[in-house]
Each structure stands twice: as C-alpha cells, then as structure tokens.
Structure 1
Amino acid sequence: MSESSSANEGRTTPETVEILQQRRTIRKFADKPIEPNVVDAIEQAARQTATSESLSAWSVVRIKDPETRAEIARICGHARIARAPLLYVFLVDQHRNLRIAQELGVDPDGASLRSSNIFLQGYADAVLAVHATETAAEAFGLGAVILGSVHNDVPRIVELLHLPSNVFPVLGLGLGYPAKVPELKPRPPKEYQYFDDVYPDDAQTPSMVKALSQYDEDVHDYYERRNPDNPLQGFTSYVAALAQSKLVEQGHIFQSIEDQGFRID
C-alpha cells in the first residue's frame, strides 16, 4: 500500500475535497505577509494545471506597485483588494506563442493562434489556473477572492499592465491569511445543476421559481445575517434584477477582445 493510501485510511473525506467543500470568498486579509516558499509552492502547483493543446496559453502578472494595486481596486470596486498580500491578474496569452510562430516563419496575421476557438481555449486554461492557485493557497491556510470585475474596464487594465496584442485579462485573484472567515454561502440544489445523460426538458420543472423557493429562503437568511440593513431578497429575484440591468453592456467585452488582436467570429 502506498504512503498516500495509508495516510487516507480512516478519513471520511480526503483533505483536498474538504478544502473545496469549505471554500469561501475572503475579502478582508490579515496584515501578515505570505512566506516566499508558500508563494513558490502555490505557483508551482498552478503551473501543472491542465492546458489545451499543450499550449500553456496563460500567464500571470503579480501586482506589487501600490498605485497599480489601488487602481485595480478602484476598477474592481473593492478598496480592500489593494491590501491583499498577494494580488494576481491572470491572462490569456497567445503573444508568446505567436512570437514563436513568427520566428519560425509563420505569418502572424494568418495564424490560427488568433482565432476565437484558440482564444476560448486559452481563456479556459487561465480560469483553470486561477482555480488551481486558489485551491493550493487554501491548502496552506490562505483565503482568496476571485475578481471577475477586472472586466469592468478592460482598456484600463490593458494600459496598466502594458499588455501587448494577443494578451487579455481573464480574472484577478487576491490571496492572504483571512482576517475573518464568513459562514459558508448556500448553493443551488444539486438536482438543478447535475443531470444524467441529457439536459432536462422544461416540462419536468414547470416553475423554476417555485422549485427554488427553499433556496431563495436560504439565500435571504444568509444575507440577512451578513448584511441585516440591506439583505438580498433571494436568488430568483436577484437573477431577475440582473437580467434587466444594463451592467452586462458596460464592459463591451467582445470589442475589447478584438482590440487585443483576437478574431471573434
């Protein structure tokens, strides 16, 4: 029997699964630096993330400059982000591979590395790397906040980080030792996220709002404890409000992707 098998004997749930099942977003970090060997171990773990076509079409910028941190925090709408001991921005990066192709005689204007398909592959690679980084960090007792809000102003992020063509910001990630650990946030019922063989016909659930009524209550109760002065009414009402908001139109995300040299067609 291997050492790893012996270590797992008598344990109901493997440690990594426990980490994932207890995942929380941490937005307030303790004023404590992360040890360099821990940072290196986290980054080495992320580098082993699965990658499509073996292209490793992602990279990361560590944000150390205080002014850049403050500006990213402003863009993301979270002032505390500037105080995260470790702040990353993960990127789709085909610039590196296009340089390789060009050096080997391939016309970069016609290279498929700029295609929408390859862009999406690189985007997925970057998301996987974020998740691997977060999980590795939590194994060391750190907390994390993932920042999709870097898309609030992509042109400014591009400018701040001096991103060349064919590089695009995907997610930010703040890491640090938690100053406070919130309670576990409720998630939708499993039967509405996991299906067997095919996506279920709508007739099987005539009213999704009724089907999620208990989840609505759970969400409301969670946010009432977290923010009693302005609790979220429930998941379904939140979805309806977001569906009619203009927020999704503000980022002009596809135009920003094309501005960075990718072909979205």
Structure 2
Amino acid sequence: MTTSPQSPGRPGKGGRSAKPEATIHNETINTLLNRRTIRAFTDETIDPDTVALLEETAQHAATSRYFNEWSAIRISDPTKARTIADMAHQDYVAQAPLLYIFLADQRRNADLAKREGIDIDSRGFVLNTGYVFLQSQNDAVLALHAMETAANSMGLGCVILGSVINDVNRMIDLLDLPRLVYPVLGLAIGHPAQDPPMKPRMPRPAQIFLDSYGRSDTPGTPDQALKDFDETVKLYYRDLRHMDAPRKTFSRIIADKACNPKEDHEPMLPSIQAQGFDMTR
C-alpha cells in the first residue's frame, strides 16, 4: 500500500492542511479501481463469520433520512437459486456460494407507523409515494455496493444482477414479497474461478462534467473522449475478450441494443403499483 507521508486533510505545520500527493492509493482505493465482474466461482464455501461481516457492511451503508428503506434476502434454497438463475438466464447465479436479492422495502416502516396509530390506508400516508420508492431503491443499491466492495476487499468475486427483474412478478411470488416491497438487484458472491481482464472505463471528460452538462475541466472535449473510447472498446473486445468477434465500437454496441427486442422488458409500472406504491405522488 502506498500512502503519502501525511494524510490529506490532516493539519500540518501552522494548522494548515497538508497538500496531498497527485495520486494517493490505499487499500480501499485499490479495491475500487480493480473491481471486476466475476461470473465463475469455485466450489469453496464462505464461512459464517465472513457472511455476517458482509451483511454488517451492507447495514453500514448510507441510508436516506435514516429510514433504512431496504432489506435483502439471502437465498439458501438451491431450488430457489436455480429458479432465479433460470429467470436471469444466467446459469452461474445458481453456482454462487452466496446469493442475495436486495429490496426496496417500506413494509417494515409502514408496520411501525401503523403500530404508532397511523392509518396506512389513508391519503395522508406518504411512505408509498413515487419519491419514497426511489429513495428506497437508492438505499438498496447503496447497501449492495457496500457489500460488494467489502467482498472484493476480501478477495471474493461478485456479479451484480440486474437480470433478477427479468420476470419481476415471478420474483415477487417466489420470494413472497408483501406490499410495499420490490426487488431491485441481486448480488452473487464467491471465490473467483476466473481472472478476466479489466474492462476499459469511459474517459472522465465524457462522463464527469463541471458546473453544467457537457463541460469538462480536463483536457479534451466529451465528443473527442467518446471517439477515443470507441477505439479502446473495439480493441478490448477484439484482443482480450472475443478474438473472433466483430470489432465493435462502444457506439455500435449501444446502437445495436437501443432497438433490440431482447432488451425490451415488460412495463414495470404495473408491478410497482401492484406492490402498493403510488407513482403518481
């Protein structure tokens, strides 16, 4: 681990903050910068203490308004894991030693409010609004990311599963989700059985802006950065991932998916509303 002689932000001589080095790496930063998606796992199990620690890290993630508007279900039933893998069209999901489904959850808070005398069926009840649904969804994503980062720091591999909502109504039934609970993402964790190359990341000028959209504080324009990224992605898929695959730029990949029927899912609004969330409020 490489660190500066004095941590950034810590007072130096005369009470001034020490100037940080141009690049400061520590174990946390290295974990984040070396994050990869792992889709193949060994048969090695994950011990209960590690499982408990991973779950605790998720619980320490930021939560909007301290409402704790998320829950997670650890899938231990092999039959359920196999069903989820089939719904996701990803066989490796059933092979992961740990599998979680993260949920936007207002059921718990609604029950607590009801115990305190709140009529949760009244118009004045607001824990079922669209705003709250989005905050609950954010909470679930933040918790998942904390768990994934912790797992990666331990040398475990992870894959985040947006595919768990391919058939969202079936997922709701499979997990017996009550009203005001909705599946957001899955996370499969295990000991890696593969060592994939790092995927290239989009240049900062194309993705991180200054003060207004499309304005960069780094050299180059967003358009030029995207052109450079096109070439980088084309080389990545040709040379590192699929030697016999057509050479596609990032722009071409997006264009191919933009009107691909396989990318079209059932409308989600009916299922969200069926779970008790009023997205018009």
Deviates further, 13-22 or 221-230: 221-230
Give how far 1:101 is off.
1.1
Are residues 211 and 8 of structure 1, via their aligned partners in 2, closer, same or farther at CA, if it must alter by over 3 Å? closer
Q: Which runs of 5+ in 1 are unaligned?
A: none
C-alpha deviation, 1:218, in angstroms? 1.6
1:235 aligns with 2:250: yes
Q: Contact 1:66–1:82 at 8 Å: present in 2 too? A: yes
The one-character-per-residue Cα deviations of 1:39-93 (angstroms, maximum 9, x if unpaired) are: 1111111101110011101000011111111111111111011000000000001
CA offsets per residue over residues 159-206 of structure 1, 9 Å max, x none?
A: 1100000000000000001011211000111111111111127xxx99
Aligned counterpart, 2:203: 189
Higher relative contact order (CA 8 A, sep 6+): 1
Q: Say whether 1:222 aligns with 2:236.
A: yes
Which residue identity does 1:229 align to in structure 2?
A: D
Q: 1:255 and 2:270 equivalent?
A: yes
Q: Which is worse superposed, 97-106 or 11-20?
A: 11-20
Query: Counterparts of 1:37 and 1:24 in 2: how far apart (Å)?
Result: 24
Native 8 Å contact 1:8 1:14 kept in 2: no
Q: Label 1:23 to 1:233 Cα distance change in 2 as closer, same or farther (>3 A).
A: same
Residue 24 (structure 1) shift: 0.2
Report percent identity of matched pairs: 43
- The one of 146, 152, 156 equivalent to 2:160 is 146
Q: Is the 8 A contact 2:206 2:214 kept in 1?
A: no
1:194-243 superposed Cα distances (whole Å, 9 cap, x missing partner): 11111127xxx9994x6523212221222222122335612101111222
Q: Secondary structure at the match of 2:198?
A: coil
**Which of 78, 87, 92 lines up with 2:90 in the alignment?**
78
How far, CA to CA, are the matches of 1:53 and 1:247 in structure 2? 38
- Which residue identity does 2:76 align to in structure 1? K
> What is the identity, as a one-letter code, of the residue corresponding to 1:260?
Q
In structure 2, C-alpha distance between the alignment counterparts of 1:138 and 1:219, rounded to whole Å: 24
Matched, 1:94 2:136: no
Mapped partners of 1:140, 1:249: distance in 2: 36
Distance 1:147 1:45 in 2: 19
- Tell me: CA distance 1:163–1:6, structure 2 relative to 1, closer, same or farther (3 Å): farther
Mean Cα displacement is larger for which, 219-228 or 10-19? Answer: 10-19
> Secondary structure in 2 aligned to 1:250?
coil
The amino acid of 1:195's aligned partner reads F
Deviation at 1:116, TM superposition (A): 0.4
1:117 deviates by: 0.4
* Structure number with higher helix proportion: 1
Distance verdict in 2 for CA 1:207–1:178, change over 3 Å: closer
Unaligned 5+ segments in structure 2 are: 9-20
Contact 2:96 2:190 in 1 (8 A): yes
Q: Supply the distance in 1 between the matched residues of 2:266 and 2:39 (Cα, whole angstroms).
A: 23
Greater CA radius of gyration, 1 or 2? Answer: 2
Q: Distance in 2 between matches of 1:155 and 1:232?
A: 37
Aligned length: 259
Aligned partner letter, 1:173 = L
Match of residue 118, structure 2, among 102, 106, 117? 106
Comparing 51-60 with 253-262, which one deviates more in the overlay? 253-262
What is the alpha-carbon distance in structure 2 between the residues aligned to residue 75 and residue 64 of structure 1?
Answer: 17
- The equivalent position to 2:65 in structure 1, one of 28, 53, 62, is 53
The structure 2 residue matched to 1:43, chosen from 31, 51, 55, is: 55
2:150 partner letter: A
After superposition, the Cα gap between the structure-2 partners of 1:44 and 1:207, relative to the gap in structure 1 and judged at 3 Å, is closer
- Stretch of structure 1 that moved more, 249-258 or 68-77: 249-258
What is the distance in 2 between the residues matched to 1:84 and 1:230?
28
> Take 2:260 and 2:110, find their aligned partners in 1: how far apart are those partners?
38
- The aligned residue for residue 69 of structure 1 is 81
